[in-house]
Amino acid sequence: MVKWNMRVIVTGGAGFIGSAFVRKLNLEGIDDILIVDELGTSDKWKNLRGLRFRDYWDKSELASSVLANHIDPVPDAIVHMGANSSTTERDADHLIENNYRYTQRLAEWAVERNFRFIYASSAATYGDGENGFSDEVPIETLMPLNMYGYSKQLFDLYAKRTGLAERIVGLKFFNVFGPNEYHKEGMVSHVYRGCQQILETGSIRLFRSYRDDYNDGDQKRDFIYVKDCADCLWWLLNHPSVNGLFNLGTGQARSWNDLAYGLFTALERPPRIEYIPMPEELQGRYQYFTEASMDKLAATGCPLPRYSLGEAIADYVRGYLYPTLRYLG
């Protein structure tokens, strides 16, 4: 079990999932937390308001301290949620340095010193899903559709090849949404974006389908609420004997139309959906279906997500998005 005086480093701790997890730690009585991030000029700093933590470091400060083996006090765990999460980022060198090399350094440092290490992989590693979405298939067979997904797969492969995977935990997050994503601009969830569209225009915009086997808006995703992600991270922190690479979704794919109707229900507005053309640069790299196989994680005893899509949308919209933005603090 987790020590109640536990010292935890959370990278990406001012970001979306990272700040939600810091809130979870606070709720469980833990505030000896070092938050590591890169704030820049975004509004990400607002996610830190109301959270309790010992210190904040820039990501470069952590990297140099790891290389010098000079971190005091010594942590009990590193939860590494920091990364460039843009699926449209084209700078491959930047993605490899931030999503692969940085993770590699932290993981090796943690394992050498017997710290718990949990990191964020991604469902983007599955590519178009031709081989399904099972976290028990050989990861060497996966073909990501974008450089972001490939940068995540590079570390998954490295961890497996070197044996690190047997001593750390990786989570392939599917489509996460919820409070504290507001700073993500073009990468915000369509729950957030759709809510704004409905409030401003009375309608929501969804992509048309370019495949005969999918109607417009019936492309499907495995949508998971950020509070469920934080609960899973907390459970894994409490169970250091559980290691490996796991999916983290709900295990139930839902359509964009389902999401839209959930938003209209939460906002108590009549449904109006506008189907718009998909940008050409996305058409060849678009996932029409994702659904996490959750059997492997369930077999560890980890509780599966508790929020249904409708429940999560209602909680998010009514508790955080409407009429004004609220943060997890």
Residues with a known catalytic role: 148, 184
SS3 255: strand
C-alpha closest to that of 118 among 40, 255, 271, 230: 230
SS3 221: strand
SS3 225: strand
Q: Contact at 8 Å (CB) between 280 and 249?
A: no
Strand partners, 117: 78
Pairwise CA distance, residues 207 & 219, whole Å:
9
Would you state the structure tokens that stand for residue 103, as one six-digit string? 């993770």
Which DSSP state fits 178? -
C-alpha closest to that of 305 among 224, 235, 242, 237: 224
SS3 73: coil
